[in-house]
Amino acid sequence: MQKPGHNLYISTLASIIVLTTISLFILGFPYYHTPLTERFYHSDHDLYKPSGLIGHGLGIIGTLFIVIGVFSYMARKRYRFLARFGRLKYWLEFHIFLCILGPIMILYHTAFKFGGIVSVSFWSMVVVVASGVIGRYIYLQIPRSMEGRELSLNEVREMKSNLNVHIKNRFNLDVNSYNAILEYTSINSMQQNGDEKIRAIRRNKENKISIRRLKKTLRNFRLPEASIRGITKLIKNEISLNKKLQRLQTMQRLFKYWHIVHLPFALIMLVIMIIHVGITLAFGARWIF
């Protein structure tokens, strides 16, 4: 999937979540805003109560989304033959999408009324979603292969190229342009040595300022725009890789600790959810079937 297509894919998933949340809020607001003691007399009570047509339906659909999101991603990681259906990171993004949209629907299913053992499942679900957002950030900090496999420290080091040689061989540069790039890349290459002068450049904002200055310098040397874009892209990739190298071991350790929080709460949520569904069916509750 090319970058524009991937951006469209992510934007579509995010839009579905936002639009669903807003729509459910607007449609059900008159009922949800009503005090609990008065909801029984509300005209929409039979629709939005947890066992109502809409409320019950949201609970079923939300539960299915969570189950599909969790077990499809687990299957993709476990069974290699599923690799033909897309990279692991796309499956992860779809897993996150379903496991955010599902809990949102379950939140509206509860009609914002929590109690009993089900509340344990709900708050476990909240912890799982919150930790999932944090886990996604940590996941992005760990360099991975095109298929989504985590790379070792040695593999990441092998990816690092001699940036100056690569730029010189790829672009037809005059002496002044090459020296300007050489000065900039030599500064950034000092990042790993902890030079005081470079610690400020690690900040994203200052990196952007530095790259803008480099672009301006290269334009003054009348370098073609296509070459300028190519050079700055290579430099940005190198900066990003340097940062990930510096944080790799820390992020790998954090990711292990993250599993300690995420997985137990996910299991608690799923077990209580299964018990809740089983009891609901045992008492004869039905939806539209």
What does the pLDDT look like over 6-47, one tens digit per residue? 889 899 999 999 999 999 999 999 999 999 889 999 999 999
Same domain, 138 and 20: yes
Tokens of 125: 């679900």
- The rounded Cα 244 to chain-centroid distance in angstroms is 17
| Domain presence at residue 219 | yes
Both 44 and 130 in one domain: the answer is yes
The whole-chain average pLDDT of the chain stands at: 78
Does 287 fall in a domain? no
Place of tokens 């993709």: 76
Residues 163-208: pLDDT tens digits? 656 666 667 666 666 676 666 655 454 444 444 444 544 556 666 7
pLDDT top residue among 194 and 158: 158
Task: Tell me the residue range of the domain where 117 lies.
Answer: 3-153+249-282
The residue assigned the tokens 């003054």 is 220
Separation CA 216–CA 194 (nearest Å) = 28
272 and 197 in a common domain: no
> Do 261 and 125 fall into the same domain?
yes
pLDDT above 90 covers a percentage of the chain that reads 23
128: helix, strand or coil: helix
42: tokens are 């509300």
Same domain, 132 and 61: yes
Integer Cα distance of 273 and 120 in angstroms:
10
In a domain, 288, yes or no: no
Which pLDDT score is estimated for 30? Answer: 93
pLDDT at site 200: 41
| 247-289 per-position pLDDT tens digit | 677 777 787 788 787 888 888 888 888 888 888 878 777 776 5
Task: Please report whether residue 289 resides in a domain.
Answer: no
Residues 6+ apart with CB under 8 A from 123: 114
Number of domains in the chain: 2
